[in-house]
Amino acid sequence: MKLTAAQPATRVVFLVLDGIGDGPGDGFDAVALARTPHLDRLRREGLVTAIRAHGTAVGLPSDSDIGNSEVGHNILGAGRVFPQGASSVETAIASGAIWQGCWREAVAKAQAGGTLHLLGLLSDGNVHAHERHLFAMLDRAAEEGLKRVRVHVLLDGRDVMDKTAHVHIERLEQHLAALRAKSGIDACIASGGGRMAITMDRYGADWPMVARGWQAHVLGQAPVAASAMAALEAARAATADLSDQYVPAFVVGDAQGQPCGTVNDGDAVILFNFRGDRAIEITRAFTEGASFTDFDRQRVPQVFFAGMMLYDGDAGIPANFLVAPAAVSDTVSECLADTGIRQFACAETQKFGHITYFWNGNKSGKFNEATETYLEIPSDRVPFDQRPWMKSAETADALLEAIADPGYTFVRANFAGGDMVGHTGKLEAAILAVESVDLAVGRLMQAAEAHKLCLVVTADHGNAEDMVERDGKGQPLNDAAGQPMGRTSHTRSLVPFIVRDYSGRQLRLADVAKPGLANAAATIVTLLGLQVPAHFEPSLVNVVG
Ligand code: 3PG
Ligand code: CO
């Protein structure tokens, strides 16, 4: 499905202010607390609405699921709702389809004397993984009569309440103990660490993280602990206020104190994360031959490797996967690519794949080399509360250049600060992040006005607007020391959708039932003055004069 080539009415700049939702406006709302004169003016002068960015509105299994950037950008670009990884895995488990195909090959390896290794994020965040999927695999492995299973756990604290890793480890240990008692299976935790310390890097931002994960999971090279819980407790005792995300790598020892579950020739490894961005690097380490140069693997066991999902459809990573993702096609940028309209997409490393790969319906390549330009701005490699401004100034610089080029008709970008700093759970830093993004927006407003184009500002999900954990009634929770418990995860907030047309047209908000991120694509096409394809959800605005 292509749009018919036509002269666009105006140029559109679309900004995703990552993790900047509409919050409660209280003392933990970094967006409300930040000094944001430009966003405030944009809200006063533009058309403003609030749209849904979580749960079923973005293809997640239920409305209790928080939004996230993968699904957010996917739905923004796709213009309609597709079932996302979390939903597809649930469906495959419910139907039993997950136990066909690659699962059978993994079982065959284990039945031929190998160990089945299950590696992934241990939480119920449902952003990259869900522990329910791990439990289902463990149960099935026991039913299949497998003898030896090893679990390699990545501690979360980023998609769930921080400092709850012990709850998830305990739940897993109980599940394993019950399974051992019931079926005699030799199943235990073998290694682990925090998800921001090992294994789950993305977009090549920090390969040494993946190297540390490989060393722990595969080679058994990390401090040995008697159990995952003992390792967690030791890490917490050694570092005050340690976030689960940063728990150092550990290996669980056997009775002789030797690593109890290294990965060896003839084993099968399943990475049970369903989301691709942070799964691709460790997958490549397991599956690539001598051409792999991102770190020295020391020993590369010959294993059968499968991902929970296909993580990169273009590159075919991995070759083996348990559940196929929904095929997303005819995204807004695909539709625009062949009209002659030129597009510019830009983000810093941490969100670069979001504004390109996820936005484009999980496609890493361009649709049309001649009409599309992608620019990645290298992210800092530090905990982001130490550089809360991140690359907002540099991203704005790049956008100003693109805006100055009249050849670019559709310009899109992601500003990572609200989200990445929001994930640190540090309120003061999140305020600075939002203020830095506001400064960038102000510069872009000025350019948009000068070039008489149309500016759209929204977010992919909430985060910085609520920096505290709350009880069921919305009251902030305190930790044992009486301090507010910083919230590190995303939210279920609505996100703003602001349109400011400096080209002088008269716009009106359309009457759309339950507006959500899926309505953005048609809105972009409408603002460009082109015919909206029938497969998109309706536009949030109408041009009335
Ligand atoms: C992460 O991967 O950093 C978090 O789990 C989700 O963040 P994102 O969806 O904003 O990328
Ligand atoms: Co995030």
Kindly give the distance from the C-alpha atom of residue 69 to the centroid of ligand 1, in angstroms, as a whole number. Answer: 6
By C-alpha distance, which of 360, 395, 355 is closest to 378?
395
**Any ligand 1 atom below 6 A from CB of 70:** yes
Confidence grade of residue 4 (pLDDT, cut at 50, 70, 90): low
| Predicted confidence (pLDDT) at residue 3 exceeds the cutoff of 80 | no
CA angle, residues 352, 384, 212, in degrees to nearest 5? 80
Q: How far is it, in rounded angstroms, from Cα 359 to Cα 543? A: 25
Given the residues 64, 69, 88, 243, select the one marked as catalytic. Answer: 69
Global pTM value: 0.97
**Cα-flanking dihedrals φ and ψ of residue 177, to 5°?**
-65, -45
Kindly give the distance from the C-alpha atom of residue 463 to the centroid of ligand 2, in angstroms, as a whole number. Answer: 7
User: Which pLDDT value is given to residue 364?
Assistant: 84
By C-alpha distance, which of 518, 528, 470 is closest to 328?
518
**Any ligand 1 atom below 6 A from CB of 419:** yes
Kindly give the distance from the C-alpha atom of residue 487 to the centroid of ligand 1, in angstroms, as a whole number. Answer: 14
Segment 22-27 mean pLDDT: 98
| Predicted confidence (pLDDT) at residue 6 exceeds the cutoff of 90 | no
Q: How far is it, in rounded angstroms, from Cα 480 to Cα 490? A: 23
Confidence grade of residue 7 (pLDDT, cut at 50, 70, 90): confident
pLDDT, tens only, 91-107: 999 999 999 999 999 99
3-state secondary structure 50-76: EEECCHHHHCCCCCCCCCCHHHHHHHH
User: Which pLDDT value is given to residue 2?
Assistant: 60
Confidence grade of residue 261 (pLDDT, cut at 50, 70, 90): very high
**Any ligand 1 atom below 6 A from CB of 279:** no
Kindly give the distance from the C-alpha atom of residue 165 to the centroid of ligand 1, in angstroms, as a whole number. Answer: 17
| Predicted confidence (pLDDT) at residue 462 exceeds the cutoff of 70 | yes
Ligand 1 pocket, mutate which of 122, 158, 492 (most atoms under 8 A from CB): 158
Q: Which residue has the higher pLDDT, 48 or 7?
A: 48
User: Which pLDDT value is given to residue 511?
Assistant: 97
**Any ligand 1 atom below 6 A from CB of 159:** yes
Q: How far is it, in rounded angstroms, from Cα 477 to Cα 486? A: 9
pLDDT, tens only, 173-196: 999 999 999 999 999 999 999 999
Residues 6+ positions from 239 with CB-CB distance below 8 Å? 246
Burial of 156 (0-12, 13-18, 19+ CB in 10 A): buried
User: Which pLDDT value is given to residue 5?
Assistant: 56
Segment 327-348 mean pLDDT: 95
Strand partners, 542: 508
Segment 504-512 mean pLDDT: 97
**Any ligand 1 atom below 6 A from CB of 128:** yes
Residues 6+ positions from 255 with CB-CB distance below 8 Å? none
On average, the pLDDT of the chain sits at: 97
| Predicted confidence (pLDDT) at residue 338 exceeds the cutoff of 90 | no
Helix (H, G, I), strand (E, B) or coil at 141: helix
By C-alpha distance, which of 249, 183, 241, 190 is closest to 222?
249
**Any ligand 1 atom below 6 A from CB of 454:** no
Which ipTM value was assigned to this complex? 0.99
Q: How far is it, in rounded angstroms, from Cα 66 to Cα 63? A: 8
pLDDT, tens only, 383-434: 999 999 999 999 999 999 999 999 999 999 999 999 999 999 999 999 999 9
Domains in the chain with CATH codes = 12-84+327-543 (3.40.720.10), 86-323 (3.40.1450.10)
Q: Is 329 a catalytic residue?
A: no
CB 363 within 8 A of CB 311: no
| Predicted confidence (pLDDT) at residue 319 exceeds the cutoff of 60 | yes
CB 214 within 8 A of CB 297: yes
User: Which pLDDT value is given to residue 252?
Assistant: 98
b/e sequence 336-356, b meaning 16+ C-beta within 10 Å = bbebebbbbbbbbbbbbbbbb
| Predicted confidence (pLDDT) at residue 479 exceeds the cutoff of 80 | yes
**Cα-flanking dihedrals φ and ψ of residue 544, to 5°?**
-110, -5
H-type helices in 144-277, by residue range? 165-183, 207-214, 228-238
| Predicted confidence (pLDDT) at residue 329 exceeds the cutoff of 60 | yes
By C-alpha distance, which of 24, 18, 15 is closest to 420?
18
Q: How far is it, in rounded angstroms, from Cα 455 to Cα 41? A: 13
| Predicted confidence (pLDDT) at residue 1 exceeds the cutoff of 70 | no
b/e sequence 157-194, b meaning 16+ C-beta within 10 Å = bbbbbbbbbeebbeebbebbeebeeebebebbbbbbbb
